[in-house]
Chains A and B, each alone.
Chain A
């Protein structure tokens, strides 16, 4: 069974923001993943966004 990225994340890491506003800790986290896990992480994120959008779709007023 494939390991999902959130299962290999480990403990949360504090942000490490550089002079351009880029979170270096986030990059280092990505670089610890395999290319396949990186893709799966993006897929999970997009799926989450789609789910949130659906939850917030306008519903007919009763």
Chain B
């Protein structure tokens, strides 16, 4: 399945000492990938988290650029068709790299520099608040190299 981990989970994976209660991903919006994603979402019992009817996402939802805010048996999961003024999976791919999560599992994760730029552009108070920590993490990473 093709997706990129973005948001604060990307920050955590890159080493920032921050917390988050959901996972944000930008998925590739082609029918084959969306079908695979729907299969995983069904296994996770994913439903829209702000809808009391427990509606499930379908292919047309996931093929669009909108944000599907879901809750699953393992917690909240946001499947984002596009972020940061319309950037798709393909647009973000050059700014992401694979990280190993052990046991043969690896995921594509947005680079810390790209995450910082997005938070700066967003300029929401909650995004601006975390930028000093993300910048300091990037600085510590550059010192390690």
Interface residues of A (CB under 8 A from B): 2, 18, 20-24, 26-31, 33-36, 38-39, 42, 45-46
Contacts and interface: CB of A to CB of B under 8 A. Distances in A.
Given A24-B136, A27-B140, A35 B17 contact: no
Given A24-B140, A36-B100, A46-B19, 9 more contacts: A2-B102, A20-B132, A27-B140, A28-B140, A31-B15, A31-B140, A35-B100, A38-B13, A39-B12
A35 B16 CA distance: 11
Nearest to A29: B17
Interface of B: 9, 12-13, 15-21, 99-102, 109, 132-133, 135-137, 140-141, 144
Given A35-B101, A36-B102, A45 B144 contact: no
A36 to B, nearest CB: 5
Contacts of A20: 132, 135-136
Nearest to A21: B132
Nearest to B138: A27
Given A24-B136, A27-B136, A42-B12, A36 B101 contact: yes
B75 to A, nearest CB: 9
A57 B30 CA distance: 46
B12 A31 contact: no
Contacts of B100: 34-36
Contacts of A38: 12-13, 15
Contacts of A28: 140
Given A21-B132, A31-B141, A39 B17 contact: no
Contact of B13 (A21, A22, A39, A45): A39
